[in-house]
Structure 1
Amino acid sequence: METREQVKGIAARAALWSARHRALAILGWIAFVIGVTVLSGQLGTIEAKGSDQGHGDSGKADKIVEAAGFPVQPAGEMVIVQNRAGTDRTAAVSDVTKALKKTANVIDVQPPVQSPDKRSSLVTFSISGDPETASDRVQPSLDAVAAVQAKHTDLYVAQGGSASGDKLIGEDLEKGLTQLGILSIPVTLGILLVAFGAVVAALLPVALAIMAVMAAMGLLAFASRLAPTVDTTAHVMLLVGLAVGVDYCLFYIRRERDERRNGADPHRALVIAAQTSGRSIWISGLTVIVAMAGMFLTYDTTFVSFAVGTILVVATTVLGSLTVLPALLSALGDKVDAVKIPGLYRKNSEGRMWNGFLRLVLAKPLISAVLAVGALAALAAPALDLKTKGEGIEDLSPDAPIVQAYLAVEKAFPSEISPAEVVVQSPGAGFEQKVTSFRAAVEKSGGRLAGPVDVELNPAGTVAVVSVGLVDEKALDLLREDVAPAAFGPGALVTGEAAGSADFNARLNASLPWVFGFVLGLAFLLLLVSFRSVVVALTGVVLNLLSVAAAYGMLVWVFQYGHFEDQLGFRAADGITNWMPLFLFVILFGLSTDYHVFVLSRIREGHDRGLSTRQAVREGIGRTAGVITSAAVVMVAVFALFATLPMASTKQLGIGLAAAVLLDATIIRAVLLPAVMAMLGEKNWWLPRWLGWLPQIAHEPPQQAPAAEGRHRELTTVS
């Protein structure tokens, strides 16, 4: 039987089964996607609570406060009236107070407070009702404050707060993410139309990628029972799912089309595509999943949610690519090239430009490698200056009115913007005296801690929360190590935005070596087993690290050094968003492996047929250059859309991913990889004798056996 003797591996067997039972495979896939989507809607997705996302002392404090039963506080808002031209602001403050007291949904308007420098006044109030939906009721107060500003043009009058922030920024961000999801699909389809030159072939990858993402999001509802999800996970899943889904289908369809144009019958073309590209998809998917699994080692709720979501979407995409895609190709036959686009449809996927460039690289491999490494080193050099910082209001668009208001309040009233909170359990007798001692220590802090000091007890009187403002970066350490323990004892825990950010950074720093070691180690092992070569596995890891380093360097050059500020709509900061380096490493290492496995499989295929290493490199890279370019353009276009969102972190994500993929598909895969492999020659395939027990995995297409002709005719007929 041909299936046992010549067709080996999970990918090939899955493809042949799907081709023989294509109706069952196609309908089963559709039923699977619809089924998990409907069931997830009925089941619902469990979302992580704020207290689930903390670390260290701040995480413990948040859980204590949540369990203490504090009454739900209404959404707080504030209006700053600032004197910037030497004029009197008394009338404006009075107008703000009167207007707010007459405004719908406004409660608890407090008397104005003056800043220490006597240049600003602050009026605080709350929005009635559920704080989670306060953004729906904040507009009347925004209108009232805008009217006062219009009346007093010589002063700065602006409103900020949780409700107005959610409305003015949250809505913009959600709108941007929604538009990104909608735009990414037509952009991807447009690029694939150019790449394939045929409508049906271009539609298949997009349709399968979307269905895989839908199914994975449905499965996420079930997985959230074990690991609660965060709201941004769905957007990350769309990003990764569209990237790998299109890539996998692109590789598979391109190989099947090429074999058909080389004269293979439908069955033979499908077998070759399954044995080669299908196998690459299988290995690549495993490696990407391993990379994503590294995020589990952070023990952070957000990263764990990202890991679960991306693993689900990659696994679902691999499943669809190895089952329903072969079934569809078997059913369509040559109709996969239906609706050809004049001027774009080509008979093969080999690019003359890339082949000409490759000949130049292989003619001078040492010079090419030196130039490539030099270019990557220059791009990566700024990464030596990489610093990280927590996300803050300054990371949003500097032109947003809410951002300007927050920054003005933060400068004039540091205790009003995200104050630190000291959580004290069992305050008991003498607590008032301790608070008095704490206030005295705040006044003696040299201006690092700022009042007013506010105290709140839970209804049972078992937990107290003492709030105080942090003026500079060292204030948190002073509060945690000296002031709070001295006043309330060693059991006092400090939380708040600054404390939470510091604890998150500490958790990330502790987990970085484990994540990097896990991802690099397992990726090396997977490549070693797949290609039976220590050199190939080591080269793959090093090349992927070079693309990541170059991406880090470009992030620093743009977002720390301040290039393209006006074009991208941000202001340079003293660091990159703290979670960005780890997240980019995991995502980029996984996605870079896609290209590496695909290209190396084609090179190994030629080598196994008896070609020299240099000839195998020329043939393998030459024949994959077109599809790699198409896949990279899709990824770069989709990732670049993230740079249009209002937050600095999303801009960093988009620029980092797009730049790394572009460099990976050009300098690394088209120059450095062939140059290094050409110089190493047969040493590329070195494997120590003591590793000879590793399984032999065939990379070359299966040979057509005469005994299988009847089976060929049978499958050709049903095709």
Structure 2
Amino acid sequence: MMSSLHRVGLATARHPWRTLAVWLVALVSLGGLAAAIGGELRDNWNVPDTRAQAGVDQLREHFPDSGGSSAQVVLHDDQRLDATVVEQVVAELHATEHVTTVTPRLSEDGDTALLYVRYDVPTTDSDIYGDIDPLEVAAAPAEAAGYQVELGGELPGTATEIEGRGELIGILVALALLVIAFGSVVAAGLPVATAVGGLVAGSSGVMLLAGLTDVSTSAPTIATMVGLGVGIDYALLIVTRHVERLRAGDTPVEAAARATATAGRSVVGAGLTVLVSLMGLRLAGLPTYDAFGFATAIAVVCVMAAALTLVPALCALAGRRLMPRKERKRAPGLGAGAPRTSTTDQEPLTARWARTVAKRPVAWALVALTVLLALGAPALGMRTWPQDGGTDPQGSTTRAAYDLVTEEFGPGANGPITLVADLEEVSRPEVKALHAEIAGLDDVASSGPVATSPDGRLAVWDIEPTTAPIDEQTTTFLEDLRAEVLPDGVEATGYTPILGDISELLGERLWLVVGFVVLVSVVLLAFMFRSVVVPLKAAAMNLLSIAAAYGVVTLVFQHGWGSSLLGVDHDIPVSSWVPILMFAVLFGLSMDYEVFLLSAIRDDWLDTGDAHGSVVRGLASTGRVISMAAAIMVAVFVGFATEPAVVVKMLGVGLAAAVALDATVVRMVLVPATMTLLGKWNWWLPGRGRVEELDDAPVQV
């Protein structure tokens, strides 16, 4: 592999302008193809093989105009509403395209009207998705009368947009950190420019993917979050190695080729582990996760390609300008990267730290393990639930509508449950008795009349729980309702049951995703490092850092530790979407740093046979770049935590916490401590003695 990467680096460095021209043509061509045959982003919110989805399918089959999206239009004033104005708004809503029914409901004091709007197409239909303009136009008479008008429910919830400041914050902070690290604006801008170039190509790839399958509207945000972080990191690793070779006296072209050969091997290995983790998302059982995995994989492949081809070309063009100004005047080989004496005072800080850990590996390992377990403990009490309007930021129309409905009609009005009875399995007298029984339950605030489908096959009615959709008591009520009250032939569906089934499904599938990703990653690392112990240990440590990240997310959002700083004004459960997505992304990202570090340690071990010394020297050579790469990635993820969408906030916080812990507690403490304890056993492989070199001929560096 190293020889192949050396040839790639040498070719692109020798012909930088040709390489840039090829990339420019590729970006323009991909953009043109995306515009010509690419599709539109479209969510698929079906939840296969769940009871709630079965109820929705029944409604769509037997009620031609049912089973579609819904919305709430809330009208409020300080005094009793004018019935004429309300009727006018109802009439305007009825005239709106795809609207089938509008059910008005007036509060007891008459100052609030809840207009429940149903559509004949699902929320994900391109005609209505994210478009609340027709609702606003229909509600214009109420606004003209001075009423407060708020929009809530399924359809208005899709109108929340990602503001894009996460990318901007991440890029600006990354540039500042890189300037400090390299002492050169050119060197700082190169990794960022490379990552952005790769993301541009990835964005076109995602749109081409959308022409073949449904791609969630949230998928590009996740892809950008991950692609930007790993893209800068991969480029940073190669640029760092390139600068080291310049200081050692190599020409810019040869330095770029050697950096691509050595650091590029780590980039390929790290990228493959990220891709393996992302493919695990397909096992989550939801079409949305397929889109997340494929879109993010496209972004990762593109930034990998940019790092392996654009970086050496740009490095060759930049020459010695990648070095700080004061070092450019020195003769090659006499810069900061020249050989050092062996005195402890002149050793890198990371080398001295590695020696400190190596002196007392058991104590340091226990300290690191204690920290990770303590942070991960809150995750044992994590409660997951898909988010609703009650978790939207204050000031948004969906949050205002949610709060008004809760205050005037009760929290359950935000998530009614639809009961669907198949009249071929349940008789009409049984339906009548069931309707009366459910209406009398303590957890039911109200029960609507029974309606029959046009073909006489279904009996349908709505009930409202006494608690909000997100409330744990609502989940318990739904479980008890299905298990103890509803007979065969009757299903509970609608907004709240669908959310509950999503939460249950993802909770069950998490362990399937974890098992697949861990197993394949261990096999991949065993092949890369010719060891059984190293990949098993790496997987265990990654699981510890991910568990700690889960604990941090639980503390921040479920227990409210600092959530107000993120614009979250009350405690909320962790979104059901987050754990699986966090795991797949984090396991791959954590392996990035593991591959960077272990590659250096293994190379030293192969050269010297010194198991303990290779740990110190490997950490010394990679500690600085890993710390800088982690700081940049943390900055990118923290930037995304400032977005208004709660799920994006959770992902930003969780990913930032995990990367920070992984680069400090795990890579700087737990890895050197355990590798020191294991010694030569780190590289044990059944049937072999000392680890053999890879088949590829090594490139002399």
Q: Does the pair score TM above 0.5?
A: yes
Amino acid at match of 2:521: A
Given the alignment of the two structures, is residue 124 of structure 1 paired with residue 115 of structure 2, yes or no?
yes
> SS of the counterpart of 2:475?
coil
Aligned to 1:185: 171
Amino acid at match of 2:399: V
> SS of the counterpart of 1:387?
coil
> More displaced, 227-236 or 532-541?
532-541
Given the alignment of the two structures, is residue 470 of structure 1 paired with residue 465 of structure 2, yes or no?
yes
TM-score of the superposed pair, with normalisation by structure 1: 0.82
Q: Residue 418 of structure 1: which of 395, 404, 415 is its match?
A: 415
Alignment map for 1:99-118 (pairs within 5 Å): 99-101=85-87, 106-107=92-93, 112-114=105-107
Distance 1:133 1:170 in 2: 5
Distance 1:517 1:321 in 2: 30
Q: List per-residue Cα deviations over 1:423-450 (Å, max 9, x = no partner).
A: 456x589987665444323333344363
Given the alignment of the two structures, is residue 12 of structure 1 paired with residue 3 of structure 2, yes or no?
no
For residue 24 of structure 1, report the CA deviation from its aligned partner.
Answer: 4.1
Given the alignment of the two structures, is residue 451 of structure 1 paired with residue 451 of structure 2, yes or no?
no
Maintained 8 Å contact 1:608/1:699: no
Q: Residue 369 of structure 2: which of 357, 360, 373 is its match?
A: 373
Amino acid at match of 1:473: T
Maintained 8 Å contact 1:77/1:127: no
Q: List per-residue Cα deviations over 1:70-121 (Å, max 9, x = no partner).
A: 177885413367xxxxxxx8xx2234x3444566984468765455xx8986
Distance 1:384 1:254 in 2: 40
Aligned to 1:94: 81
Q: List per-residue Cα deviations over 1:191-234 (Å, max 9, x = no partner).
A: 22222222222222222212222222222233335541100000
Q: Percent identity?
A: 29
Amino acid at match of 2:65: F
Alignment map for 1:575-594 (pairs within 5 Å): 575-594=573-592
For residue 55 of structure 1, report the CA deviation from its aligned partner.
Answer: 4.5
Distance 2:84 2:522 in 1: 68
Aligned to 1:507: 505
Distance 1:303 1:613 in 2: 42
Maintained 8 Å contact 1:599/1:624: yes
Distance of aligned partners of 1:105 and 1:612 in 2 relative to their CA distance in 1, 3 Å threshold: farther
Distance of aligned partners of 1:73 and 1:385 in 2 relative to their CA distance in 1, 3 Å threshold: closer
Distance 2:425 2:680 in 1: 80
For residue 373 of structure 1, report the CA deviation from its aligned partner.
Answer: 1.8
Aligned to 2:255: 269
Maintained 8 Å contact 2:9/2:258: no
Given the alignment of the two structures, is residue 57 of structure 1 paired with residue 51 of structure 2, yes or no?
yes
Distance 2:40 2:457 in 1: 30
Amino acid at match of 1:594: D
Amino acid at match of 1:16: L
- Superposed CA RMSD in Å reads 3.7
Aligned to 1:84: none
For residue 284 of structure 1, report the CA deviation from its aligned partner.
Answer: 0.7
Distance 1:331 1:539 in 2: 41
Distance 2:105 2:477 in 1: 26
> SS of the counterpart of 2:414?
coil
Distance 1:699 1:381 in 2: 44
Q: Residue 208 of structure 2: which of 199, 222, 225 is its match?
A: 222
Aligned to 2:694: 697
Aligned to 1:641: 639
> SS of the counterpart of 1:453?
coil
> SS of the counterpart of 1:697?
coil
Distance 2:643 2:240 in 1: 33
> More displaced, 416-425 or 497-506?
416-425
Q: List per-residue Cα deviations over 1:623-663 (Å, max 9, x = no partner).
A: 22221122111111111122222333222211111111111
Distance 2:229 2:347 in 1: 22
Aligned to 2:616: 618
Q: List per-residue Cα deviations over 1:491-512 (Å, max 9, x = no partner).
A: 4443212211222223223322
TM-score of the superposed pair, with normalisation by structure 2: 0.84
Maintained 8 Å contact 1:423/1:463: yes
> SS of the counterpart of 1:563?
coil
Distance of aligned partners of 1:331 and 1:447 in 2 relative to their CA distance in 1, 3 Å threshold: closer
For residue 564 of structure 1, report the CA deviation from its aligned partner.
Answer: 1.3
Aligned to 1:654: 652
Maintained 8 Å contact 1:453/1:466: yes
Amino acid at match of 2:661: L
For residue 402 of structure 1, report the CA deviation from its aligned partner.
Answer: 4.2
Given the alignment of the two structures, is residue 70 of structure 1 paired with residue 57 of structure 2, yes or no?
no
Distance 1:351 1:504 in 2: 53
Amino acid at match of 1:212: G
> More displaced, 55-64 or 523-532?
55-64
Aligned to 2:38: 44
Distance 1:381 1:315 in 2: 35
Aligned to 2:529: 531
Amino acid at match of 2:200: M
Q: List per-residue Cα deviations over 1:451-492 (Å, max 9, x = no partner).
A: 12363746x66666533323333442354345553xxxx344
Maintained 8 Å contact 2:274/2:589: yes
Q: List per-residue Cα deviations over 1:346-372 (Å, max 9, x = no partner).
A: 945999444443343233333222222
Aligned to 1:362: 358
Given the alignment of the two structures, is residue 383 of structure 1 paired with residue 379 of structure 2, yes or no?
yes
Q: Residue 306 of structure 1: which of 281, 284, 292 is its match?
A: 292
Maintained 8 Å contact 2:270/2:595: yes
Maintained 8 Å contact 1:421/1:466: yes
> SS of the counterpart of 1:382?
helix
How many residue pairs get aligned? The number is: 665
Amino acid at match of 2:53: G
Q: Unaligned 5+ residue runs, structure 2?
A: 95-101, 121-126, 329-334, 339-345, 467-473
Alignment map for 1:399-438 (pairs within 5 Å): 400=396, 402-410=398-406, 412-413=409-410, 416-423=413-420, 436-438=432-434
Q: Residue 234 of structure 1: which of 204, 217, 220 is its match?
A: 220
Distance 1:63 1:214 in 2: 39
Distance of aligned partners of 1:48 and 1:160 in 2 relative to their CA distance in 1, 3 Å threshold: closer
